[in-house]
Amino acid sequence: MSINWFPGHMAKARRQIEESLKKVDVVIEILDARIPYASKNPMLDHVIGDKPRVVVLNKKDMANGKETDRWIARLKAEGVYPVALNGKEPNVLKKIENTVVEATREIFERMERKGINPRAIRAMIVGIPNVGKSTIINNIAKRKVAKTGNTPGVTKAQQWIKAGTKMELLDTPGVLWPKFEDASIGQKLSLTGAIKDNVVNLDDIAIYALKFMQTHHLEGLNKFYNINIDANTEIVEIFDAIGRSRGFKMSGNEIDYERVTERVIYDTRDAKIGKLTFDFAQEEE
């Protein structure tokens, strides 16, 4: 699912994205709607420059709807063209097409004024692993074209696929590295499945998830695990409560903390406990 990123991979990915960028009118950057800040590649802004950019907040079905609306407003204010999607739904092509047309309107109007024949809008999809790039490409192409992004950068043999009537899309996505800035970003990336579980401390992830829900989703947390904690409950007591409620015990009736940790991570990752967005649009980053 994910890649271990080395400096060589990063340099290669950057070079390949820069090459592909020359061929397209617009870049479609896929972010995870649950972590629009943490799932952004830190270098992309530099290489995209002034090229129009559509930002897809994907997996909106797992994110907090109100927060997604706030992110859309923030991204619009930043001058990009955002759209929130569930990459698996049938309306993906239409939504992306509409946004791409809007993002490139000026370029095509200018071409028209110069008497240049209209042609399809050329686009490419980029993003960090696991945000849903392949799902979206396959959905748009109505067939299986993109291998799930396991290679940094873009694979060599790129082809254009017709996407609707107005757009052509490069069939392989640009795979970019995630942020490695600080522990909390790593925790968010792990909690949403963007980085491998074995590169992070699972206890820290579960603690992060539980504290986040204790603060922002207390009722949902209590209900899902059938527990009764409050805003002041110590973290170890939350683990105990979940362990007891789920019957995660070892011999001697001790709580099996490892099982609690795994359960909490998977339940959060699959949005079973609730639709949560971990990056706030209005927070100072």
Q: Contact at 8 Å (CB) between 97 and 167?
A: yes
- Please state the closest distance from residue 275 (CB atom) to ligand GDP, in A: 10
- Please state the closest distance from residue 36 (CB atom) to ligand GDP, in A: 14
Residue 133 labelled as part of a binding site = yes
Provide the token pair at 172: 């392989």
- Please state the closest distance from residue 23 (CB atom) to ligand GDP, in A: 20
| Residue number, 180 or 211, with CB nearest to ligand GDP | 180
User: Residue 229, CB half-sphere, CA atoms under 13 Å: how many?
Assistant: 28
CA 37 to chain centre: 9
Please list, in sequence order, all residues whose beta carbon lies within 8 angstroms of the beta carbon of residue 248, skipping any fewer than 6 positions away: 242, 255, 256, 259, 260, 263
Q: Which of 86, 106, 111 is nearest to 96 (CA)?
A: 86
Residue 134 labelled as part of a binding site = yes
CA 18 to chain centre: 21
| Contact string 18-57 vs ligand GDP (x = CB under 6 A) | ----------------------------------------
Q: Which of 62, 191, 195, 227 is in the footprint of ligand GDP by CB under 6 A? A: 62
Q: Which of 215, 218, 224 is nearest to 266 (CA)?
A: 224
List binders of ligand GDP among 111-150 (CB under 6 A): 127, 129-135, 148-149
List binders of ligand GDP among 143-202 (CB under 6 A): 148-149
Residue 115 labelled as part of a binding site = no
Provide the token pair at 195: 């980085």
Q: Residue 82: what are its φ and ψ, rounded to 5°?
A: -90, 155
- Please state the closest distance from residue 40 (CB atom) to ligand GDP, in A: 14
Residue range at the interface with ligand GDP (CB under 6 A); choices 64-72, 84-92, 179-187, 219-227: 84-92
Q: Which helix (H) or strand (E) holds 18?
A: helix 7-21
- Please state the closest distance from residue 14 (CB atom) to ligand GDP, in A: 18
C-alpha gyration radius of the chain:
21
The count of chain residues that interact with ligand GDP, using the rule CB under 6 A, is 17
Q: Contact at 8 Å (CB) between 60 and 33?
A: yes
C-beta neighbour count of 73 within 10 angstroms? 13
Tokens 């748009």 belong to residue: 140
| Residue number, 136 or 206, with CB nearest to ligand GDP | 136
| Residue number, 127 or 152, with CB nearest to ligand GDP | 127
- Please state the closest distance from residue 238 (CB atom) to ligand GDP, in A: 26
| Residue number, 172 or 187, with CB nearest to ligand GDP | 172
Question: What are the residues binding ligand GDP (CB under 6 A)?
Answer: 58-59, 61-62, 86-88, 127, 129-135, 148-149
Which residues participate in the annotated binding site?
Answer: 58-61, 130-135, 174
